[in-house]
Chain A
Amino acid sequence: MYTQEMLEAIKIVEKTRERRLKETFPRLKPEEKEQLLRSFHPDYMPDAMRPVKVGPNKGEKMPHEHVDLLESRSMLDPDHFSLEKIDYDVDVLVIGGGGAGTSAALLAQEEGADVLLVTKLRHGDANTMMAEGGIQAADKENDSPAIHYLDVMGGGGFHNIPELVAALVMDAPLCIQWLESLGCMFSKFPDGTMNTIHGGGTSRKRMHFAHDYSGAEIMRTLRDEARNRGIKVIEFSPAVELIMDEHGQCAGAVLYNLETEQYLVVRSKTVIIATGGSGRLHIAGSPTTNHYGATADGLVMAYRAGAKLIFLDATQFHPTGVAFPEQIVGQLVTEKVRGLGAQLVNADGEQFIYPLETRDAVSSAIIRECKERKKGIATPSGMYGVWLDSPMIEILHGKGTIEKELPAMFRQYKRFNINMAEQPILIYPTLHYQNGGILINDRAETSIPNLYVAGEASGGVHGRNRLMGNSLLDIIVFGRRAGKNAAQRAKSVQLGRLTLDHVKRFHEELQKEGLGQKVAPILLPDYRGKIS
């Protein structure tokens, strides 16, 4: 429920709405965008980062929150931890039960591998489940993988790794077809044509969606399929360290049963890390859209084993996180709201940015509007935000469109007595996505033999800024590739003696630098006694 002051502020938005409906705010020129990012994007704020002192990326700057984890010691004491009793012996170990992990497990099993999927919370507890807006694929007549390629590269600041982008855009239609064949209920026209819209930074309408439960629909479908196929899953048992063999190959992982507090040893011919992102590290103190378990566990484990990280200094802030009501600050308001025509409006009722610029640019513009131009709207808790003029959608597409096309968003606000079909909503950028991660190639391989990575934990495909709809795509494309390749590779792997020597060496390096007081992965954030 809005306060009296906010209701007054809304009147200004209503007054300019009719005029704004006919207005298109000019897009940023390349040099304007560059300037905007440098001045206002959180990546460029001084003091947000420091160089990491140990490991494969030694000397490179990353957010403090990531560096803190990379400079921590293991939960295990490598001198005394025994790898002799093997609890599970499999062909392919998949670490992470989100969209990437589940896709990987399905494909690995199709290749005939004995697969084990382990996950920290429940199977399906992942950012995949929360992805609302959609999934990109160039499958319409006026579109092509080449046009998609160009959009991805431009969105990522042309830093993206070409072979990964090529894999992403070329596999995209195949992945949508795979999901369709699994019974995923995409929003379609009566003749079967996919309903597709724009996302920020797209030049074609290629965003496929399932209302605004796109990720949830994909996740529950994949999970149901995994259950039908009898894939073994261990829940509430995160991996806390990779196991190597004496020849320097990845050879499994140590799990930690969160409920019984026991360790379990998994020996595996190949390992796929699909542990997702790191929003729950609250980089730069920001609230986040991410699920409870997004704590960068995979990065920490792979880094200790010698895998190189890339673009960890590029963090994605989603332009439209909830700024009010206070109870759900930081939660996601899908980009689809802008895709359907809602404009971003300041305290004067005026637009200040083209609504579908890339996310880094829109976020920066909102920060500028609130911090520099002082055109934000204050909330009772002292936060600032700008309006997302959602009622425009009802005018543009007809009454009832929001409830039909954005049921999750409508419900989210209705629970707090705000009707977004009639009143604009207040938003501010929120920590959303880890653009970088563990460096992979187009086979989802890392530099460590037998170690694969897929999804948000990986880095390179999105450059320094991911486009909307390319994350759901990424997890399916590279999840499938990782699963297939890891299973095929497992057929010829011969493992030697298992060791944690890499952890021992890492601990020595930490000690030399006077580091290693903290322990990582942290597995879960700790909000006890706090108001998170």
Chain B
Amino acid sequence: MAEEKEMVNIYIMGKHYKVPYGLTIMKAMEYAGYRFIRGCGCRGGFCGACGTVYRKPGDFRLKVGLACQTVVEDGMYLTQIPFYPANKATYNLEELTPTLGTLLQYYPEMTRCLGCNSCTRICPQELSVMDYIAAAQRGDIEKAANMSFDCIMCGLCASRCPAEIVQYNVAILARRLYGRHIAPRAQHLAKRVEEIKAGKFDEEISRLMKMDRAELQKLYDARDIEP
């Protein structure tokens, strides 16, 4: 297979390898002989383990991508950044109030943002990172929560921030504040939990548990299905 494919030259941490054209960076590194311990997680773009930075010859710009979702290009100089030391505040969510003061109490460095937009430019999810930090600075927790929702916490934003903000940790605090203290609770859920605790469904469930396969199959086939 490999022989028939067009090959490209890549440089993993400066070291030259020839790999088949069309592979993702992750698969290309494995083809080159790497067996990942760090820098590889879900392999599907959800976990943020495989943040990778690279440059192409003759281009001063630093580029970025998830190794599992980015295709190798000829001449790529690349390295993964699987871990970056980050300041993570610890808090008791239940006791917090969803205010600007809370965000500032745990992440005062948030106000040091220089507006350079490096975080937004590096985000492999193409989130407007600087803008959600701006929303957080205004105390607009709902906006910060929603704008940061697709964050996979890969940490690349924090690695580039000259103000040393850990954007993704600010973001998860905003999201949890929103989810717990701002978004209205589901009333039907609370009601159902009370009904279950009161034993409303116990009898029906234990009746079903005693049924044999034929009885269950009959009930199953006769189910009315919500359109």
Q: For window 500-532 of chain A, which residues contact chain B by CB distance below 8 Å?
A: 524, 526-532
A210 to B148, CA, bound (A): 13
- A236–B44 contact, CB under 8 A? no
Contact of A144 among B27, B37, B201 (CB under 8 A): B201
Contact of B216 among A154, A181, A215, A220 (CB under 8 A): A154
- A528–B193 contact, CB under 8 A? no
Query: Interface with B: A191-199, A295-303, A306-314, A364-372, which one?
Result: A191-199
Query: Interface with B: A56-64, A240-248, A327-335, A478-486, which one?
Result: A327-335
Interface residue? A415 (CB, 8 A) = yes
A221 to B177, CA, bound (A): 11
The total number of A-B Cβ pairs within 8 Å is: 232
0/1 string, A449-489, CB within 8 A of B gives 1? 00000000000000000000000000000000000000000
A138 to B216, CA, bound (A): 19
- A150–B22 contact, CB under 8 A? no
0/1 string, A329-360, CB within 8 A of B gives 1? 00110000000000000000000000000000
Contact of A188 among B2, B31, B186, B206 (CB under 8 A): B186
- B183–A192 contact, CB under 8 A? yes
Interface residue? B188 (CB, 8 A) = yes
Interface residue? B41 (CB, 8 A) = yes
- A125–B31 contact, CB under 8 A? no
- A183–B216 contact, CB under 8 A? no
> Which residues from chain B contact A153 at a C-beta distance below 8 Å?
208, 216, 220
For A191, the closest partner residue in chain B by CB is B184
- A122–B49 contact, CB under 8 A? yes
Contact of A183 among B36, B71, B179 (CB under 8 A): B179
Known: A185-B183, A230-B90. A147 touches B223 (CB 8 A): yes
Contact of B188 among A141, A183, A215 (CB under 8 A): A141
Interface residues on B, range: 35 or more
- B24–A327 contact, CB under 8 A? yes
- B46–A150 contact, CB under 8 A? no
Interface residue? B135 (CB, 8 A) = no
Query: Interface with A: B7-15, B107-115, B149-157, B159-167, which one?
Result: B149-157
A151 to B222, CA, bound (A): 11
- B30–A528 contact, CB under 8 A? yes
Nearest CB in chain A: distance from B162 CB, A? 26
- A227–B88 contact, CB under 8 A? yes
Interface residue? B132 (CB, 8 A) = no
- A183–B49 contact, CB under 8 A? no
Contact of A182 among B34, B93, B184, B196 (CB under 8 A): B93
> Which residues from chain B contact A137 at a C-beta distance below 8 Å?
189
- B179–A225 contact, CB under 8 A? no
0/1 string, B90-131, CB within 8 A of A gives 1? 111110000000000000000000000000000001100000
For B189, the closest partner residue in chain A by CB is A139
Interface residue? A263 (CB, 8 A) = no
Nearest CB in chain B: distance from A285 CB, A? 15
> Which residues from chain B contact A163 at a C-beta distance below 8 Å?
209
Nearest CB in chain A: distance from B213 CB, A? 5
- B188–A528 contact, CB under 8 A? no
- A183–B47 contact, CB under 8 A? no
- B42–A292 contact, CB under 8 A? yes
Nearest CB in chain A: distance from B95 CB, A? 11
- B221–A129 contact, CB under 8 A? no
Contact of A291 among B22, B31, B43, B153 (CB under 8 A): B43
A293 to B42, CA, bound (A): 8
Known: A173-B193, A224-B172. A183 touches B178 (CB 8 A): yes
A327 to B31, CA, bound (A): 13
Interface residue? A51 (CB, 8 A) = no
0/1 string, A208-231, CB within 8 A of B gives 1? 001101011100110011011010
- A173–B189 contact, CB under 8 A? yes
A203 to B219, CA, bound (A): 12
> Which residues from chain B contact A332 at a C-beta distance below 8 Å?
44
Interface residue? B40 (CB, 8 A) = yes
0/1 string, A156-197, CB within 8 A of B gives 1? 001000110110011001101100111111101011111000
- A530–B30 contact, CB under 8 A? yes
Interface residue? B180 (CB, 8 A) = yes
A489 to B14, CA, bound (A): 54
Interface residue? B69 (CB, 8 A) = yes
Nearest CB in chain B: distance from A163 CB, A? 7
- B34–A150 contact, CB under 8 A? no
A186 to B179, CA, bound (A): 8
A145 to B200, CA, bound (A): 10
A81 to B114, CA, bound (A): 56
Interface residue? B61 (CB, 8 A) = no
A173 to B150, CA, bound (A): 25
- A412–B31 contact, CB under 8 A? no
> Which residues from chain A contact B27 at a C-beta distance below 8 Å?
327, 527, 531-532
Interface residue? B45 (CB, 8 A) = yes
A190 to B182, CA, bound (A): 11
Interface residue? B198 (CB, 8 A) = no
Query: 23 interchain pairs (CB within 8 A)?
Result: A122-B49, A125-B47, A154-B216, A154-B217, A176-B186, A184-B179, A203-B226, A205-B226, A221-B172, A221-B176, A236-B37, A236-B38, A291-B43, A292-B40, A292-B43, A327-B24, A331-B45, A408-B150, A524-B37, A528-B30, A530-B31, A531-B1, A531-B20
Given A130-B42, A173-B193, A227-B90, 6 additional A-B pairs, CB 8 A: A183-B177, A183-B181, A211-B150, A289-B44, A528-B30, A529-B30
Top 4 closest A-B pairs, CB basis? A192-B184, A183-B176, A183-B179, A183-B180
Chain A contact residues, CB within 8 Å of chain B: 30, 121-122, 124-125, 129-130, 137-142, 144-147, 149-151, 153-154, 158, 162-163, 165-166, 169-170, 173-174, 176-177, 180-186, 188, 190-194, 198, 203-205, 210-211, 213, 215-217, 220-221, 224-225, 227-228, 230, 236, 258-259, 289, 291-292, 326-328, 331-332, 407-408, 411-412, 415-416, 524, 526-532
Chain B contact residues, CB within 8 Å of chain A: 1-2, 20, 22-24, 27, 30-31, 33-38, 40-47, 49, 69-71, 88, 90-94, 125-126, 145, 149-150, 152-153, 172, 175-181, 183-190, 192-193, 196, 201, 204-206, 208-209, 213, 216-217, 219-221, 223-226
